[in-house]
Amino acid sequence: MASSVVDNEKLVATATSNAPEIKPEPVDETIVNATVDRAPKTPKTPVKRKKGDGVASPGTPSKKAKGNGTGNTPGKQRDKVLKIAESADELSAHDQMLLSWKDEGKSWAVIKTEWERLTGNKPGGSTLPNRYARLKANLACVTPVDIPHMMSAETEAVEQIEAEIKELWAKKWARVGKIMEGKGAASYPAATIEKQFKKVKSAPVTTGADSPQQPADDEMADDA
């Protein structure tokens, strides 16, 4: 039994050693490259950015920051609307600086630099001069010691105006006479013009048959 097993193993070994060697066929690289080039490319799906994830989408330009934490945009700062005081109690620190420095004769360039430091705003060329003028107009007032003079002066002014009006009305008919002469009329006293005007003004207006008729030319010839 053992001898038969050994004989079989010898036969297998002999058959294996005498079998011809099989070599792999060479691969044509041209065919492989052509096959790879013709393969369809799968398009990439862009990744959308979700709000709040802090990750920008591929190919999407990143947005500039809207501020630097101080309320002003980076680079050129925006002008904030600053309320203009209507009274001395409403004056802010930057408006007090604007008034005092300008009254002291400092240049607008110096005032502008200090304004930017106090407010964080970069004003335009005419912003501060216009603001200064408006502040001056809003704060202008009569001193308390002159208030009584103001009140009495207003009363006297009204009396003077009323007297001037009466004087002008008294010269009315003399002026009417001069205008009449300019139109080619004769010269009349002012009292005569006033009396005649009132008489004509109060007379009833007549029209048609009630109006005085001019005599015919034949009657005028007979009278002659």
Across the range 66-73, mean pLDDT stands at: 47
Euclidean distance between CA atoms 94 and 82, whole angstroms: 10
- The chain-wide mean pLDDT, for the chain, equals 75
Domain of 188, in residue numbers: 160-196
Pick the more confident residue, 8 or 222.
8
pTM of the predicted model as reported, rounded to 2 decimal places: 0.39
| pLDDT 10s digits, 160-205 | 999 999 999 999 999 999 999 999 999 999 999 999 999 999 988 6
Asked whether the beta carbons of 81 and 44 are under 8 A apart, the reply is: no
Residues 131 and 99 in one domain: yes
164 and 131 in a common domain: no
Look at residue 183 and tell me if it is in a domain.
yes
pLDDT tens by residue, 209-218: 455 555 444 4
Residue 96 forms part of a structural domain = yes
% of residues, the chain, pLDDT over 90: 43
Q: Is residue 68 part of a domain?
A: no
The C-alpha atoms of residue 67 and residue 189 are separated, in whole angstroms, by 85
For 116, what's the count of Cα atoms within 13 Å in the CB-facing half-sphere?
A: 13
Residue 139's nearest CA partner among 106, 104, 90 is: 90
Residues 173 and 134 in one domain: no
Q: Where are the alpha helices (DSSP H) in 20-143?
A: 29-37, 93-103, 108-119, 127-139
Confidence band of 16 (pLDDT split at 50, 70, 90): low
Is the pLDDT at 17 greater than 70? The verdict is no
Q: Are residues 95 and 129 in the same domain?
A: yes
Decide if 120 is inside a domain.
yes
224 within domain boundaries: no
Tracing tokens 């009140």 back to the chain, one arrives at 151
Would residue 1 count as lying in a domain?
no
| Per-residue pLDDT at 174 | 95
Q: Is residue 55 part of a domain?
A: no
**Does the residue 153 lie in any domain?**
no
Q: Do 165 and 131 share a structural domain?
A: no
For 116-148, the pLDDT digits (tens) are 999 988 888 899 999 999 999 988 888 889 999
The domain tally of the chain equals: 2
Among candidates 86, 84, 83, 76, which has minimal Cα distance to 120?
Answer: 76
* Alpha carbon 122 to chain centroid, angstroms: 17
pLDDT of residue 75: 41
Residue 114 φ/ψ region, left for φ over 0, alpha for ψ in the -120 to 50 degree band, beta for the rest: alpha
Q: How far apart are the first and last CA of the chain?
A: 194
Q: What is the pLDDT of residues 87-103, one digit of tens each?
A: 888 889 999 999 999 99
